[in-house]
Each structure stands twice: as structure tokens, then as C-alpha cells.
Amino acid sequence: MQVTLRVSRLGGTATVPPSKSMAHRAVLCAALAAGASRITHIEYSDDIRATLDAVRQLGAKVVEEEDAVTITGCGGDSFATVTRPVFCNESGSTLRFLIPLFSLTAQKIRFTGAGRLFARPQEVYRLLFHRQGLRFEQETDGITIFGRLRPGGFTLPGDVSSQFISGLLLAAPLLESDSSIEVLAPYESRSYVDLTIESMRRFGVKVAQRARKDGSVLYRVAAPQRYTAADMAIEGDYSQAAFLAVLGVLAGGITVTGLEPASRQGDRVILDILKRCGGKYTVGESGVRFSRSLLCATEIDLADCPDLGPVLIALGCFCRGTTVIRNAGRLRLKESDRIAAMQQELAKFGARVEADADTVTITGGALRAPEAPLDGHNDHRIVMALAVAALGAGLPAVIRGAEAVRKSWPGFFSVMETLGAQLERQEQE
């Protein structure tokens, strides 16, 4: 899909979609529980559909409603016979959460997907499986596993995707005896693991943790434990709210609703980052209202909030001075090389974005309307960040591959329209 954005006067109120991170975790915990769980305020993005389809294969029963889902779990021990490959689409969360869980079936399981999914690192699991004498074979189009994960002591690096840690934590209570998971320093994206532990707690499973002086963290999971059915409402997604927040401080007059002020989401840090940049906002009963602001450069650490990377790179173009974003290397291993993609596309606006392996430097300055169409790089966050850049600058632009937003926020462009964006959609051949 191609979207043409026109110069627009923006303002109004928008509700953020439900947190995709929390929805993945709630769906999996419900699928492992005995009994029926009802999860409300859920959006059926491509990633969430992949996880729902997978838990059906695991043996859970899923009944979908418009914005809710009822899941009758398999109890963690009544797994179905898996007769076809588990399709994860482009969802790294789905794949990495499910590999340990499907190993509990002791069946030969084939995982397939789309896009760059199997170009993304899976070395953590490969080494773990091989140490236990289990089969783990990765090819360009899929991964095959065979053998049941065994309890014990696991040691994982902390500077890899937290999805590996979460996947092990979700499976550990269902093993035959206790396990420990040591995460070495530097421990990045810990807030996402905190979300996993909180979801497990809400479904009746306990995880003990101890932080050490050297920055490492030790998790202890007693086993066997049983997940218990629970009802859960998914709170608003701060990683998606970031696009609205940045647009708000650029264009002004945007109120964002649906956010939990006391959220454990690591991406909540977007509010602190905007404040450091001079972004103006007020928090009230009706939501968070963002006002047009004169912005200044700052230094940003992405270690615990990598999903904010693309929109923060766009934000840097509007800040007076030089914005430095550190610990950004993992952006190169997402649905696209997000650093290279943002460099390439923002250059069409005349922006100055420089990068090395782990750091992005953006020099603020006047932008111009891009003469060539913008490429979404088959990446939902790139598409949304480019739309924010164009609308925030008050410049017309064409974005190709805009359908990538279906991965996490299918209604993104409809929300832009409710805020006053004038746009046209056109299906690409």
C-alpha cells in the first residue's frame, strides 16, 4: 500500500492501541493455564494473530471477539499433537517465546515465518539446546527443534534480546524441577522481562529474582508450578504512544488516551526523553496532552527501549543541536536494519543522520519535502516514524510499503486521519 501525505493541520484526541508486548504474554500464560481466561482490550495485529494461531496448535481453544479473546488453556501438560509447521509470520516475540514452550511437547517442531525473521539472531537458543543434547537446526526459511527442555541452571548474556529470557521464564515453571536463569551484565531491556514476570504472577506463577552488585540478575523458578486462569485487560502501548507523543510536540494540540500512568512498560521513558528535549505535555484525567514545543538535542540510551529507536531518530531532526543515541546496535537486527533505513529515508528530507555500529548522531536543521517516495522497508516502525517526520514537518510525502503497519497497529493511518491528516491510500501492484 502506498500512502500519500499532504500538508495538514493536526490536533485532537487519539487512543493508543493495546500493548502488543503485554498481549503476547497474556495470551501465552492463558494458553498454559487450566480453565478459561478472558483477555480484553486486545488488537488483532499480525503479530498477535501469529501468537493466537500458535497456541491453538499447542492445544488451547481460542474464541475471538471484536476486542477481546477467551482462551481455554491446555493446563501446561495436555499438549496437542502438532501436525503442521508453526507459522510465526514476522514476529520475533512469537518465535522466541514459543521455542521453549513447544519443546515441552517433546515433538519434532518446525517453525516458519516471513520477512527477515530467520535472519535475526537465534544463537542463544541454538547453544542452549545443543548443551542439553537437543536438536536445533536453523535454515534460511525456518527452525526445527526436537527434544524436551530439561530443568537446571541457565546462563544468558544480558546484551541480547530479552525475548530469549522471557521464553525460558515462561517454560521453566512447567519443567520437572526447579531452574535458575542467570542474566549477565550488561543487562539490557530488563523492563520487558519485568512485564513477563508480572504476567506470570497474574496467572498464578511465582518467579524469585535477585540483582547482584556486578549488574547481573539471578532468577529462580520453582517447579512444577501451574498457571491458573485469569481475566486481564491489556493496557495501552507506550511504544505506539511514542509516535503520537512526538507528533504532538511537533504539531501541537494532541491528547493521547489509554495510557496507564503507573505502567511497568520500559517504553514509558518516552515521556522523560521528551521532557529532556523541551517537549511540553500535561498529564490529566482525560489523558496526556502534548503541545507544540521548541526542542533541543539530548543524549538518549536505547539499551532498555530499543523499539523507540526509529521515532527518536526522527525526533532528533527537529531538535536544535546534535542528538546522540547510544546502545542502538540492536536496531540493525529488527524487521529491517532500522538505523540504515532511517538514514536512507531521512536523507530524502535533507536530514543529517550519521551512525556507527552502536551510535546514531542526528544534527537538527530545516527539512525539505522529499522528491522521491519514501520506502517503508517492510518495517512497521519505520513507516510510522516517517509519517510522523513528514506530518510533524508539515511536508508532503509518499510512503511506499505502508501496509507494514498491520504488524503492530493496523489502524495507524486511520488514527492520523482523526487527528486531521489529509492522506490518500493506494494499493501497490
Feature table: binding site for phosphoenolpyruvate: 20, 92, 120, 163, 338, 381, 407
Q: Which residues are annotated as a binding site?
A: 20-21, 25, 92, 120, 161-163, 189, 307, 334, 338, 381, 407
Q: Which residues are annotated as a binding site for 3-phosphoshikimate?
A: 20-21, 25, 161-163, 189, 307, 334
Q: CA of 179: how far to CAs of 125, 149, 169, 331, 353, in Å? A: 16, 11, 9, 31, 45
Distance CA 42, CA 45 (A): 9
Return the active site residues: 307
Distance CA 129, CA 137 (A): 10
How does DSSP classify residue 386? Answer: H
The C-alpha cell that represents 339 in the structure block: 538505523
Residue ranges of E strands in 47-88 = 61-64, 68-74, 86-87
367: closest CA among 345, 383, 400?
345
DSSP sequence for 116-171: TGGGS--HHHHHHHHHTT-EEEEETTEEEEES----SEEEE-TTS-HHHHHHHHHH
Side chain identity, residue 67: D
Distance CA 73, CA 152 (A): 26
The C-alpha cell that represents 287 in the structure block: 489523558
Distance CA 197, CA 220 (A): 11
The C-alpha cell that represents 244 in the structure block: 503520537
Residue 224, burial from CB neighbour count under 10 angstroms (0-12, 13-18, 19+): middle
**Hunting for cell 542439553 — which residue is that?**
132
Residue 422, CB-side half-sphere exposure with 13 Å CA sphere: 7
Write phi, then psi, for 22 (nearest 5 degrees): -70, -35
Contact partners, residue 66, CB within 8 Å, separation at least 6: none
Residue 143, burial from CB neighbour count under 10 angstroms (0-12, 13-18, 19+): buried
